[in-house]
Amino acid sequence: MKCKTILRHTLLSILVLIFVTFSVRGQNENNFEISKNLEIFISMFNELNKSYVDDINPGELMETGIESMLKTTDPYTVYIPESQVEDYRMITTGQYGGIGSLIHRNGEYVVISEPYEGYPAHNAGLKAGDRLLKINGEDMINKPSDEVSKFLKGQPGTSVSLLVERDGEDAPLEFEINRENITIKDIPHYGMLNEHIGYIKLTGFTQQAGNEVKKALMDLKSNNEVQGIILDLRNNGGGLLGEAVNITNIFVEKGQLVVSTKGKLKNKNQDHYTRYNAIDTKIPLLILINAHSASASEIVAGAIQDMDRGVVLGQRSFGKGLVQNVIPLSYNSQMKITVAKYYIPSGRCIQAVDYSMKDEDGYYTQIPDSLVNEFNTRNGRPVFDGGGIEPDICMKPRKFSQILTSLFSKFLIFDYATKYTLEHPSITSPEEFSISDSDFDDFVSFLADKDYDYTTRGEEKLSELKDAAIKEDYFEAIEPQYELLKQAMIHNKEEDLVTYKHEIKELLRMEIVSRYYFQEGRIRTALRHDPEIKQAIEILEDPLTYKSILNGTYSGEKAVSGDNKDKEQG
């Protein structure tokens, strides 16, 4: 009863505060609507809490209401309860307290995916493939991975005890691990791809991203005869806007406009210029992007493109041209709210979805072609708004077979890598390691008693044909032909293993290498057969082609196949 009285008094206090605030500001029509509906909401919430037949959880009820309300905005405007604040801090700073390991759920177990090299999990001896049985004595079987993650995280300096099951061990293993401040690097790998082309892989835009790119570039230049740089922003979902400006500044002179933000409030209308002397304004630069390059990645790629400072290669980017601020709320909670749209130097906004408009089915709509506008780079090349950054050189994304997708999603490639690691104490370097035919035969034997069934794209299309025929009442007429076609299309998993052997071996190689050389090794081995890397190197090593792309006179094929045509090397 006491809790209900406190709740009522709290709600009434909030309402009084709102009324006072609105009185000071002056009652206009919009404020009246807000205060009226807030009063309705608070009185309803109070009555529900007081009169509903069963006990309710006021906090859970309110959080559900908040989340439902925010669903009417865009997916980037979210409520952050106190329990999740630490996770959001990690996104912006790249730091958190924990043991330093990736995890995933596989069946009833949560499994160590990969310990971070040099951090507590790795130093204590945890390995990829270890299955978590207990944390601090509490059973972890059948717990969701996000809940297990909360057990692993904690204040630096505190300890956590783990009981894990490991293949090849007769009994569970115990670990006592001291948590540390874990810093996730924005650059997991940089280096030389050949004698003259440098490579930097950027995976995030946290507070040190600009400094990390700067140090990587200077290190490459001081130890090599670098004649071109590839900045890889593929699958980089973005981060801090300021770091996007700082990274652009590395390649662009001081005082250049990189991005402008425009919002409803005047203080959100800002121009962001480069503030420092550049590291190198002349070195040929190529930016790699794909459909998962978003936000800050698009600012960097778009600004470099608009200034004709470098070539952009890959696939059209995600199309997120919205700016969020994190606003503190009561009781240590926060709100991430969209406050503005951003515009890159040519004046274009690359937002792909109009969240102010929905179609007749209630879905948000893409910017229609009729509203797409043309802009120009400094050299006069046409560029467009309304849907991400279109690369200067477009490459078709690689499509992987259904069997590979099944093997990957069911963690069979992961599990085989665990088996391989137990049997091989060491391997050669990521660049030299390969999967032999005997290794692949061993993998096929490993799959003999495993379930990895899947539906091919052809079978999916055939099923769609059947549904349409039934819906339109002519399936009976075509059923005999349908059954014949269905039998002819039934996939043979053994044949698919042979047909798609090359791409399966490629993913096996990456997973196995990561067990010995961690994330950096995974990247290094992936670069060996990356068609976009190959194309990027060819452009940077051909000054005439590079310059012709930037001055708009390039006459080469616009769309280049992304399929890997290299022959299998083992």
In whole angstroms, how far apart are CA 208 and each of 90, 183, 239? 13, 10, 11
Cβ atoms within 10 Å, residue 338? 17
306 is catalytic: yes
Comparing C-alpha atoms, which of 469, 497, 472 is closest to residue 482? 469
Single-letter amino acid, residue 266:
K
CA atoms of 47 and 60, how far apart (whole Å): 16
Tokens read off for 51: 């009169």
- CA gyration radius for the chain? 28
320 is catalytic: yes
Tokens read off for 8: 């009522």
Do the beta carbons of residue 535 and residue 314 sit within 8 Å?
no
Q: What phi and psi, each to the nearest 5 degrees, are found at residue 370?
A: -65, -20
Which is the catalytic residue, given 306, 385, 392, 496? 306
399 is catalytic: no
Give buried/exposed letters for 511-550 (b at 16+ CB in 10 A, else e).
Answer: bbbbbbbbbbbbbbbbbbbbbbbebbbebbeeeebbeebb
Do the beta carbons of residue 402 and residue 367 sit within 8 Å?
no
In whole angstroms, how far apart are CA 374 and each of 291, 371, 416, 516? 21, 10, 51, 49
Which is the catalytic residue, given 130, 320, 385, 392? 320
Which is the catalytic residue, given 101, 260, 293, 295? 295
CA atoms of 282 and 324, how far apart (whole Å): 33
Q: What positions carry a catalytic annotation?
A: 295, 306, 320
